[in-house]
Structure 1
Amino acid sequence: MNKQWFKVIAGVLSLAIVLVACGSAKEEKKSAGEGQQKEELPMVELVWNFPLSAIPQDLDSVQEAVNKITKEKINATVKLKAHTFADYNQKMNTVVASGESYDIAWTANWNWDYLQNQSKGAFLELDDLLNSYAPDLLKSMPEFVWDAAKIQGKIYGIPNYQTVTKREGFIIQKRFADKYNLDVNSIKKFEDIEPFLKQIKESESADIVPFLNDKYGRFNIMPQSLGLEAITANNIIGVDLKNPETPINLYETEQYKHYLDTMRDWYTKGYVNENAATLKNKNDIIQTGNAAVQFHNVLKPGGEIEAKAANGGNDVIYVPLTEPYASTGTVITTMQAINKNSKNAERAMMFINLLNTDKELYNTISFGVEGKHYTKVSDNVIQVNKDAGYAPNAGWVFGNTFNGYLVEGMDPAVLEETKKANESATKSPLMGFKFDSTPVMAEIANLATVIDQYLPALETGTWDPNEKLKEFQDKLKQAGTDKVMAELAKQIEAWKQTK
């Protein structure tokens, strides 16, 4: 009897030991899968390309600080390859064409185009990697943000979650607004700013630019305030928001003619910088503090602090002309993509996941090294040392801005206001639609050539539109606007059937 009981007890204990061992093994596997324990990962170096207004002098020390974090968490180092916004498109085209090795690259719908580069096969499909290595990242953004990032149902770029709306209007240096008693409530449309520009031109020194423009013009960032939405690259084809299903040539609209006439008038009166048609990087003037008025399409909550830093430390005020508006284009303005030929795609996704979920890493790449590049005022508020060699002032380039410190002077309510704007913004009737330009690539290329030839001088007021606009429109038509519009109409109709 005792022997029988002994056998039973021994059997139960053996089973318990097996179950515990199995459970431990499962937990260990689960832990390795969720945490990607660094001891299980071989050391790799990732290469990350991204643009900034200017290349920071002390980028090396920030790279060192970033790598201290990434070594600990994913057993990887990251080579930070910063380029200027003005050079980024050309630089990255060269990188891809030459087969130069890289793992991650910033992309957007306005610089090194997300859709075009995906269609060329530059980017890796990310759905599986997101599910496996970044489930928290997937949960961190609203569904419509991910919908906007999808191309034919697949994700090829990770949006840097920030304000995903646009709000068009003026950025005005406060010193001039105060000096001339500017009534901001009187400014309801673009041309209403002219009396203020006249005062600045007549009263300020010659180095002050009343209205800053550059070779890219301002029409491409003011469609909403004109009742339009651009769909294709180069702002050529879009829709009137009163009839969003019918594509039109935006350069043949009354709104475009009105913009050109206004800009020509301002240019001849000396309100616009004389070098506008050849100015490649407007930040060269902005950082001097000499730009009195600018037009921008992302007047985000709390953005005045960033704009102050960009404007040579001069306080600015926002004068919006529109309410927050969200579209596919407002979401895909800043993204990270993984090179289709990356040898370390899984680790690259782990890094992007950290950029968007790890506050220490995000704030290091955004603000630099504590005690050197910035000083903490409180737990979540910092003071930036702009003379320390690292003040990129571009957290939106790197990752989820809601993880960032507040810069001293910024309203603590900004983050909640931004989230509220994201959620409550008017959504485009074409939200989620993306134009596949592959069937008309030749026409798009020809149109780009025409635009490069005419747009800088036309949109800065350097050329008289009465002499050159018709010629520009004719050249666009010859280059293929009708074919592009027909293809866009076809794709919008097909997209509607899937909704």
Structure 2
Amino acid sequence: MKKQWLKLFAGVISFVLVLTACGGAKEEQKAAEGNQNEELPPVELVWNFPLSAIPQDLATVQEAVNKITKEKINATVKLQAHTFADYNQKMNTIVASGEKYDVAWVANWNWDYLQNQSKGAFLELDDLIQQNAPDLLKSMPDFVWDAAKIQSKIYAIPNYQTVTKKEGFVIQKRFADKYKLDVSTIKKFEDIEPFLKQIKEGEAPDVVPFLNDKTGRFSLMYQSQGLEAITNVVGVELQNPDKPINLLETQQYKHYLDVMRDWYTKGYINENAATLKNKNDIIKTGNAAVQFHNVLKPGGEVEAKAANGGNDVIYVPITDAYASTGTVITTMQSISKNSKNPERAMMFINLLNTDKELYNTISYGVEGKHYKKVSDNVVQINKDGGYAPNANWVFGNTFNAYLVEGMDPSVMEQTKKENESATKSPLMGFKFDNTPVMAEIANLATVIDEHLPGLDTGTVDPNTNLKVFQDKLKLAGIDKVIDEMAKQIEAWKQTK
């Protein structure tokens, strides 16, 4: 009996020693992490990013963000939000003036990634990632990183989300129900016209049947037209991806213009489309019945509802999911070449992509004030809380996000499945280096700014204005851009 008691006592002591050792190891690890943070001198980072509107209570969220970043990387972050409509101009001004910033959102459709990298605006990030954000590499598939590279180097971190596009209509459900819209009849963008006629006759003048703005919708319809853009005016037909063409000289573009002109003259398109800078000014009022979009992502109807004044919407896709270099680099974070704290900036981007607490704070705000939790991973947004950016894809890895109440719980799995199964572009990974034709690109931009808003919105007659536009594009040097792109595609193919 005594021997058994001694054995039991010895076992208990051993168990206690094991627990003590484990606890000590955890404490040592915690202390080491704390010491590492203490070894970092305090810094302030400045982060520029765009939103539909500047949130009223951004200051509260900044304070909450800084509690996290101060503890994790001994840094505070100044959140500089701009509107999407102003972002390109604001960032160009910031860079030109030498104003201090560390991190900035960049894309291929707003404050252009390739163009600004060619100007030397961004730091090369490969070494910074390896040294300060090793978890970041594992958080996204290889093809996402490949799409982000420019001449084999990374200059911006993709915000991993849906990396496909699917074109189609965003339609307010109340109107679809009221006019008994049969979505099965909509196979092409023109097929929506009978519904627009019903909206015009039944809801005017308060409701816009088809919302358009100065950028037009043709650039959102490339896939359904059998096209892929490489710059804003030069791309390829998918059936002949080796031969770049002027997208604005195609039959598809002429057909689009004819339809838009017809819709505009019938009153289906908002009269101010050619001068409308920020379409969200109309969308948020709930007065846009139909919109055309090229990213009808799984679960996106919940975000679209919030953007449309709280009105339910339905998605009506006219294409399948498609992935290209352009669909990956639609939302990214870069580090300024003039940042005084590039290592800490990279640590911050790493947190945005791997730290759920930080990511959900910047995406949804402060719990109890800006949102409340319905369950562990589902939140209900407080519309009157002063912070509802409705744009978690701007901030980081969306797979770390809470689900918004009403969103399908399987949306993350659906998105990953679409990412993996989407049709891949024949030019996946190709990026056009516009350095040899920068003067022509600048000239083309001037011509486009002058003529495209009127044409693409149907405001002016293409029969009298399209030829003038196309002639000016030729004078601006579009053929030289096409020739340069053809050379680069051929050289790129040799490396495959």
Alignment-derived partner of residue 89 in structure 1: 88
* Superposed CA offset, 1:35-68 (max 9, x none): 9821110000000000000000000000000000
Tell me by how many angstroms 1:28 deviates.
Answer: 8.6
Report the secondary structure of 2:375's partner residue: coil
What residue number does 1:467 align with? 464
Deviations 1:152-183 (A, max 9, x none): 00000000000000000000000000001100
Q: Give secondary structure in 2 for the equivalent of 1:37.
A: helix
Aligned to 2:130: 131
Change (3 A) 1:418 1:268: same
* Equivalent position to 2:385, from 382, 385, 388: 388
Q: How does 1:354-369 map to 2 (within 5 A)?
A: 354-369=351-366
C-alpha contact (below 8 Å) 1:37/1:73 kept by paired residues: no
Q: Tell me which residue corresponds to 1:21.
A: none
Distance 1:325 1:35 in 2: 45
- AA paired with 1:77? T
What displacement does 1:132 show? 1.1
Mark the CA change 1:199 to 1:35 in structure 2 (over 3 Å): closer, same or farther.
farther
**Per-residue deviation, 1:294:** 0.1
- 1:254 partner letter: Q
Residue 243 of structure 1: which of 240, 245, 250 is its match? Answer: 240
Extract unaligned runs of 5+ from structure 1: 1-23
Distance 1:333 1:179, change over 3 A: same
1:30 deviation in Å? Answer: 13
What do the CA deviations read for 1:421-463 (whole angstroms, capped 9, x no partner)?
0011111000010000010000001011100110000000000
What CA deviation, in whole Å up to 9, does each residue of 1:260-283 have, x standing for no partner? 000000000000000000000000
Segment of structure 1 superposing worse, 153-162 or 199-208: 199-208
Q: Which residue of 2 aligns with 1:312?
A: 309
**Separation in 1 of the partners of 2:476 and 2:30?**
57
Name the counterpart of 2:173: 174
Q: Give the partner amino acid of 1:270.
A: G
- The equivalent residue for 2:8 is none
Which moved further from structure 2: 369-378 or 196-205? 196-205
Give 1:73's aligned residue.
72
3-state SS of paired residue (2:140) = coil
Which structure 2 residues correspond to residues 42-61 of structure 1 after superposition, within 5 A? Answer: 42-61=41-60
Q: Once the two structures are superposed, what CA deviation does each residue of 1:341-391 show, in whole Å capped at 9, x if it has no partner?
A: 111000000000000000000000000000000000000000000111000
Alpha-carbon offset, residue 31 of structure 1: 9.4
Q: Which residue of 2 aligns with 1:13?
A: none
Q: Equivalences for 1:402-481 in 2 at 5 Å? A: 402-481=399-478
Conserved in 2, the CA contact under 8 Å of 1:36 and 1:74? no
Give the alignment partner of residue 296 of structure 2, picking from 295, 299, 315: 299
Does the 8 Å contact 1:211/1:271 carry over to 2?
yes
Q: Secondary structure at the match of 1:246?
A: strand
Residues 1:111 and 1:36: Cα distance change in structure 2 (over 3 Å)? farther
Query: What does residue 279 of structure 1 align with?
Result: 276
Once the two structures are superposed, residues 209-246 of structure 1 have per-residue CA deviations (whole angstroms, 9 ceiling, x without a partner) of 000000000001110010000001xx210000000000
The CA RMSD measured in Å over matched residues stands at: 1.5
Give the Cα separation in 1 of the matches to 2:146 and 2:308: 35
The residue that corresponds to 1:114 in the other structure is: 113
Alpha-carbon separation, structure 2, partners of 1:247 and 1:31: 58
Correspondence for 2:221: 222
TM-score (norm 2): 0.93
Tell me the distance in 1 between the aligned counterparts of 2:135 and 2:311.
39
Letter paired with 1:300: K
CA distance in 2, matches of 1:333, 1:477: 28
Contact 1:157 1:336 in 2 (8 A): yes
Correspondence for 2:369: 372
Q: Distance in 1 between matches of 2:266 and 2:180?
A: 22
Amino acid at match of 1:108: A
Partner Cα distance (1:73, 1:449) in 2: 46
Alpha-carbon distance between aligned partners in 2 of 1:333 and 1:380, rounded to the nearest angstrom: 26
For residues 142-161 of structure 1, what are the alpha-carbon distances to aligned partners after superposition, in whole Å with 9 as ceiling and x for unaligned?
A: 11100000000000000000
Q: Indicate the residue corresponding to 2:492 in structure 1.
A: 495
The CA distance in 2 between the partners of 1:237 and 1:284, in whole Å, is 30
1:255 to 241, 252, 255: 252
Gaps of 5+ in 2: 1-23
DSSP 3-state at the match of 1:289? coil
Distance 1:37 1:70 in 2: 14
For residues 128-149 of structure 1, give each alpha carbon's deviation from its aligned partner in whole angstroms, at most 9, with x where no partner exists: 1111111111011111100000
Structure 1: how far apart are the matches of 2:80 and 2:43?
Answer: 16
Distance, in Å, in 1 between the alignment partners of 2:28 and 2:285 is 56
Shift in CA distance, 492/378, structure 1 to aligned 2, threshold 3 Å: same
What is the SS of the residue equivalent to 1:377? strand
Moved over 4 A (4+): 27-32
Measure the CA separation in 2 of the matches of 1:133 and 1:490.
38
Quote the residue 2:336 is aligned against.
Answer: 339
**Within the alignment, does 1:147 sit opposite 2:139 as a pair?**
no
What SS does the aligned partner of 2:459 have?
Answer: coil
For the residue of structure 2 that corresponds to 1:162, the secondary structure is coil
Contact 1:209 1:291 (C-alpha < 8 Å) held by counterparts: yes
Q: Which residue of the partner structure matches residue 484 of structure 1?
A: 481
Displacement of 1:205: 3.3
* Alpha-carbon separation, structure 2, partners of 1:464 and 1:119: 37
Residues 436-495 of structure 1 deviation map (CA, whole Å, 9 limit, x = unaligned)? 001000000101110011000000000000010011111101111110000000000111
CA distance in 1, matches of 2:380, 2:35: 35
Counterpart CA distance in 2 for 1:36 and 1:266 is 65
* Corresponding residue for residue 267 of structure 1: 264
Q: Any residues of structure 2 matched to 1:324-335 within 5 Å, and which?
A: 324-335=321-332
The one-letter amino acid of 2:169's match is F
On the 8 A contact 1:124/1:156 being kept in 2, the answer is yes
Name the amino acid aligned to 1:92: M
Amino acid at match of 2:385: A
Deviation, structure 1 residue 100: 0.5
**1:295-339 CA-partner distances (Å, limit 9, x unpaired):** 000000000000000000000000001000000000000000000
- Look up the equivalent residue of 1:320 and give its one-letter code: P
Letter in 2 for 1:384: I
Q: Using the alignment, how far apart are the partners of 2:28 and 2:213 within structure 1?
A: 57
